[in-house]
Structure 1
């Protein structure tokens, strides 16, 4: 329930059809194999579900963007270890010998004087590994559907970081503008030319793909 609605208190409910008060949707853009979809929100959860469902019908390029690092290769303590509890046990055993400084290392390295891992250390590292695996699974599923799929690590709250992460993919997306990174000087195919210079907000607010 929520307060502050013009008509008083509001209670959300599920319906089989959109509310008639909502604006009518604009004509959709038919995707081709040459299109590039920038999918924000990482490669897990509802984002992965939506991208996978879309890839069943449209075999274009899916560029997933999220904050989760892919961990390539995985830390030694996580390799060939399945399951959350097994990962926790492996991490604790590893840090008992190598300390928490060596917990994320990809080779054996020297022991650390930091001592045994705390519960927070354990959960953070296990979540990190499981999240990276989920992203890899999403990429694999998208490719199995015949789509091209890549993943870039960036935080949407850092426009400069996003621009840097997306720069290598700019030639594949002519005319699409995103935060502080105009991907090309050509106008967007759907939105038309824009006189606005690259800024902290997209030049083509309606542009989702190019």
Structure 2
């Protein structure tokens, strides 16, 4: 495991001359930014014009990432603009990496990293603007960054930075436990690797655990022997299909078997948390429904107390090559991971939060073939983590950029793919230990972690 650090790599040159870049195009998706950038480029001797889409210049700046509106749509628009550029054109995609509203933050860097993996040789750069000032100041930073080599950069007020991996981290020394009993809210916490982390937290901190998930708690039939293998369970259900109320068709049997296994896993998680001496409650909830979630959480807070720790582990995949990713695929991925976090935070009293943990992905750091949408959503999480840590100095905020786990979203086919690339899988026990160590005990200024093997150069 290594920390992901933001380091200074350059300062802004006030004597920049852009004449040598030739004609520069700027997309008009965000008109105010486009015009300000055009003026800034020309102030430095460059030649720029505003276009509706990349056309014929050697360099095009994309302002799609600076538009208002839903995050999924914004990132899909940026991808479409990148795809529309000629293969020989240098493209620079812009977005904001910090903003007063979380919905105005972007994750374009993750999208660009994945795009470059799928299409080697593409000249694609991302410029993510930190501490955004007025439009003219932002435009000036962009204009003075156009000569940077193709890569991903953060444009801060006084300097340009890049993300780099730090040295390997040892487990931090343990701190004294909290004097009061914590209340943990864990999205996606009933099943999978997030559940392992919840159990480890219960062993470390005790307290109360509210586990949010989409699955229902389907009870295991009395007549059915316990089973953990899906294939074997389907076979057992098929043999008992003559029983009243038992599904008969193969597709119905499969659906019921999956519901049974999900319910059994949730029940096992609750039992493990209670065995650790903590209280656990599973709540089936749609974290995308603001009104419903607000009402649900208000009731739970009355019962168990204010939430003091948030673990956001919810997430789904909708993979595809960049040429095939449609808006729906972005919406599918962004709904639980991005909108879910926004809605959960809006329903909580942030003054009570002592810990926030976000489940990000190494795809945001390295990119990954077929996961440009997922990498973008997780890059957004990383940017949000930095902003929350800055604005909430008394709160431990951590973003875990997980490599592939043994289990979780990694099926047998993905496991073979990672093995072929020489990338080891994180065991559930080790991942949960790392998670609890760093969330509870690491220094406040260590916000982002890459857990697992480095796979950017694979």
Pairwise TM-score range, normalised by the shorter structure = 0.5 to 0.7
Structure 1 counterpart of 2:351, from 172, 179, 188 = 188
Return the alpha-carbon distance in structure 1 between the equivalents of residues 167 and 352 of structure 2.
Answer: 33
Question: Is the aligned partner of 1:151 residue 2:282?
Answer: yes
Which residue in 1 is equivalent to 2:238?
92
What's the CA shift string for 1:103-145, capped at 9, x where partnerless? 37xxxxxxxxxxx312x32222111111111111111111111
Return the alpha-carbon distance in structure 1 between the equivalents of residues 300 and 125 of structure 2.
Answer: 42
Distance 1:162 1:88, change over 3 A: same
Return the alpha-carbon distance in structure 2 between the equivalents of residues 57 and 75 of structure 1.
Answer: 34
Distance 1:92 1:47, change over 3 A: same
Return the alpha-carbon distance in structure 2 between the equivalents of residues 33 and 68 of structure 1.
Answer: 31
* TM-score, scaled to structure 1: 0.61
Which residue in 2 is equivalent to 1:103?
246
Does the CA contact (< 8 Å) of 1:42 and 1:64 recur in 2?
yes
Q: What is the SS of the residue equivalent to 1:149?
A: strand
Which residue in 2 is equivalent to 1:195?
none
Structure 1 counterpart of 2:225, from 58, 62, 80 = 80
More strand by share: 2
Q: What is the SS of the residue equivalent to 1:56?
A: helix
More helix by share: 2
**Deviation of the 1:75 alpha carbon:** 3.8
Q: What is the SS of the residue equivalent to 1:63?
A: strand
**Deviation of the 1:82 alpha carbon:** 2.0
User: Highest Rg: 1 or 2?
Assistant: 2
**Deviation of the 1:8 alpha carbon:** 3.8
Superposition pairs for residues 122-133 of structure 1, below 5 Å?
122-133=253-264
Which residue in 2 is equivalent to 1:117?
249
**Deviation of the 1:93 alpha carbon:** 3.0
Return the alpha-carbon distance in structure 2 between the equivalents of residues 48 and 144 of structure 1.
Answer: 14
Distance 1:93 1:163, change over 3 A: farther
Matched positions, count: 167
Does the CA contact (< 8 Å) of 2:183 and 2:307 recur in 1?
no
Q: Which runs of 5+ in 1 are unaligned?
A: 19-27, 105-115, 192-203
Q: Which runs of 5+ in 2 are unaligned?
A: 1-112, 117-123, 127-148, 153-162, 170-174, 309-342, 355-387, 397-458
Question: Cα RMSD (Å) of the superposition?
Answer: 3.9
Superposition pairs for residues 11-30 of structure 1, below 5 Å?
16-17=167-168
Question: Is the aligned partner of 1:169 residue 2:315?
Answer: no
**Deviation of the 1:81 alpha carbon:** 3.6
